[in-house]
Chains A and B, each alone.
Chain A
């Protein structure tokens, strides 16, 4: 049984990670050209022999051209802010839910997951309706006297961050909740018996014990935020030239599949470091 489960894991990994990755790397090593598909594969059968023509150009371009470094820097900054935002809102939420009576917890968790029952694109489009110049949120801000005129929110960084935090919040809350609800309440009681106030008990007991959950939540928010295409495209301003949009532009505007694939490979390799770090943080704490 155990073997079957393991084999399933490997099969999943092979089919949905390694095989696509192999295809992407192969295209990244090809030369771009007009055709269907628009590149010349590096390995070709010609006249009975295997012809190898690897083009290092796409990788060179991606690694040396400052445009990609800049896009990556923008993406990392956006992901970092979004992760902080999710943490700032998600941690108190998870803590509050974990300390509720058992029967209310399930309802609250259900509410956290409820947005997933509607399509992702639908929800992001709903934000366009809320944030546009005639939308409820700018009008409410003006009606409350916080601004003279309805402020422009849609197509700004504010709108993009709102969308990102909104979309990824459940990915922060759920692992944090899983961690916090498993903590033994006896530990906090012991802290207060020893004279620690609620804040001190939180800082010295609850928070350090929850760090693996924080690491898991941050990794789950950070990684997809770096590659996020839809939210910056639909809500963000034109200045948010993220790695996702750069990739889109290489693939669709330039029809340069090799460069797009080289870029995807580089980002993937960089991002592989994040779960490694998170795993390390989690292990270090658990030991």
Chain B
């Protein structure tokens, strides 16, 4: 019998390697049949009971994954084959850009009877990002403003107007508050439109002189900023490590709730500045290459039920776009104007449009200089 050569270590390694690669060759083939759903959502942004109920009612297993910035979400989407079935991008700029690049599936509205529950006025506000609302349904929404520990700020700067951006963007105020801590959200996308609007420019302006204006304003308060927080400053605010933050409304409201639970005596409030705050809608959307599009449609339809939506708002303290859920929302949330803004506030809120890529480099350049303080 001829002696067969034993396979060397190299061929063993190669076999292992090939076996490891195998699942990547046909991502959809093996998984498409199984009943599961991969959700990619913001951190602290759902009612855990909603997922349990969805799994129980449909028998679909949910794999839940979180991101903390739009940049992270978008990089994963643009690389393709993210493997997610549900993503929650913000209307501007990420959702609208994903719509334009064809990264999102068109929603099959015949499978989404609960779309009728959505407030048409709010959906109309998103139509500029997604013509005909073809690719997304509003999940939750909120504004971008300031979180503050007002009594500490009042001690340091008694005359600073707490309802205005001036408390943050006027150097004489920021200087006095600095010792208690000022935290800036680390996102050019979120901060620059608000500063443009504060200075009286269009939030979508791409004019170099307007951007220079923003840079001047930010640079003047730069020495008083303690740190830049990516993904919000919830923890730092809730533990009193900082007194004034530029952040999403919901982050601040969650920080306030955490401080109450911890009974650390910190009264945290959210302020939508009187000059008008940027309002943003987080959209339920399905990637074009989602492995389980049917389960994704079932999930969206499930979430848009008034009682589910009320549970999510009660857990996250973000407003939703399903008016029929209001009777089931805790009154202290429904009647809190920092969560559900008044008509007058709503009228002062602004949305942003798409920013051309050529204008983004100067923006992020300016942001890098601002962060470095040069």
Contacts and interface: CB of A to CB of B under 8 A. Distances in A.
A8 B372 contact: no
A238 B225 contact: yes
Chain A: interface residue count, which band? 20 to 34
B35 interface: no
A67 B371 CA distance: 13
A241 B228 CA distance: 12
A155 interface: yes
Given A238-B371, A239-B372, A34 B227 contact: no
Interface in B78-126: 78-80, 97, 100-103
A202 interface: no
A251 interface: yes
A8 B9 CA distance: 9
Given A238-B225, A238-B228, A251-B75, A36 B102 contact: yes
A interface SS class: loop
Given A4-B10, A34-B101, A239-B373, A255 B239 contact: no
A135 to B, nearest CB: 10
A1 to B, nearest CB: 9
Contacts of B216: none
Interface stretch (B26-34, B42-50, B359-367): B359-367
Interface residues of B, number: 37
A34 B96 CA distance: 12
B371 A241 contact: yes
Contacts of B188: 253
B128 to A, nearest CB: 17
B170 interface: no
B72 interface: yes
A255 B361 CA distance: 10
A255 B364 CA distance: 11
A237 B188 CA distance: 17
A27 to B, nearest CB: 11
A192 B86 CA distance: 74
15 contacts: A4-B9, A8-B13, A11-B10, A32-B357, A34-B357, A36-B78, A134-B239, A233-B230, A238-B372, A239-B372, A246-B368, A252-B71, A252-B72, A254-B361, A255-B357
Interface of B: 8-10, 13, 69, 71-72, 74-75, 77-80, 97, 100-103, 188-189, 225-228, 230, 239, 241, 357, 360-361, 364-365, 367-368, 371-373
Given A237-B227, A252-B69, 12 more contacts: A4-B9, A134-B239, A134-B241, A155-B227, A238-B228, A241-B368, A249-B364, A252-B71, A253-B188, A253-B189, A253-B364, A255-B75
